[in-house]
Amino acid sequence: MGSYWVDILAVGFFAVEWTVYAVTLEHSAYGRDSLSSRMHAYRETWIRRLLDRESRMVDMQIMGSLQNGTAFFASTSLIAVGGALALLRSSNEAFAVFAAMPIDLSPSPALWEIKCLGLTVIFIYAFFKFAWSYRLFNYVAILLGAMPPAQQRDTPEAEAHVIRTTRLFETAGRHFNRGQRAFFFALGYLGWFVSPWVLFVSTAAVVIVTWRRQFASNAWRAMGS
């Protein structure tokens, strides 16, 4: 394994931490008390209250703001992909910067390309998540438009439509959260460009910060009150 064993361990630690955090947040009893899960409950509350209203223009405006935010992140992901590819093409300039540093941190050309490609893959993953979330939000908007009138709110058809819309809404939010999580972990991944030891630290920092936002932030406490 030679001198690359620390890099391999650091990348493995990064992948394991991301996977464990995501699985814990989305597929465990502990994760069902997260800020995201608490917000899921309010999605159903929103849809049920929307069913009681005759005028739903405000609801569609809120839906539009959600779509616009998702579209922004999808566009940002494409820009980030372009930046990562540009970094791959600027290897000589990067090596010149590393050479000017007091401490020699210059990676081999092959390792540098692997780092850049890994960053590109993360942003491509984020783009697909945001793009699919945007598509699902479009579907939710269609379901909102097909919502039965208020006079039929007590019918089985209306109840089925509320459940259907809520499930699709939750799925859209889940994919959006995955895209944002990829952005957060991409920031941690940048530590590898300095050193594999920095990647250990930056990955742990990202996990701590994101965990705190989901389980110990002021927003989490506010949603539990």
Render pLDDT for 22-39 as a digit per residue (tens, 0 to 9): 999 999 999 889 998 888
Q: Please write the tens of the pLDDT for every residue from 164-205.
A: 999 999 999 999 999 999 999 999 999 998 889 999 999 999
Reported as a single tens digit per residue, the pLDDT across 87-144 is 877 766 666 665 565 565 666 778 888 899 999 999 999 999 999 999 999 999 999 8
Give residue 98's pLDDT.
58
pLDDT of 99 reads: 56
pLDDT at 95: 60
DSSP string, 133-174: HHHHHHHHHHHHHTPPPGGGTTSHHHHHHHHHHHHHHHHHHH
Does residue 1 have a pLDDT over 60?
no
From the number of C-beta atoms within 10 Å of its C-beta (0-12, 13-18, 19+), residue 78 rates as: middle
Q: So what's the pLDDT on residue 154?
A: 85
Encode pLDDT of 37-77 as tens digits.
Answer: 888 888 888 888 888 887 788 888 888 888 999 999 999 99
Is residue 136 classed exposed, middle or buried when 0-12, 13-18 and 19+ CB atoms within 10 A define those classes? buried
**84 touches 119 (CB < 8 A):** yes
Indicate the pTM of the whole model. Answer: 0.89
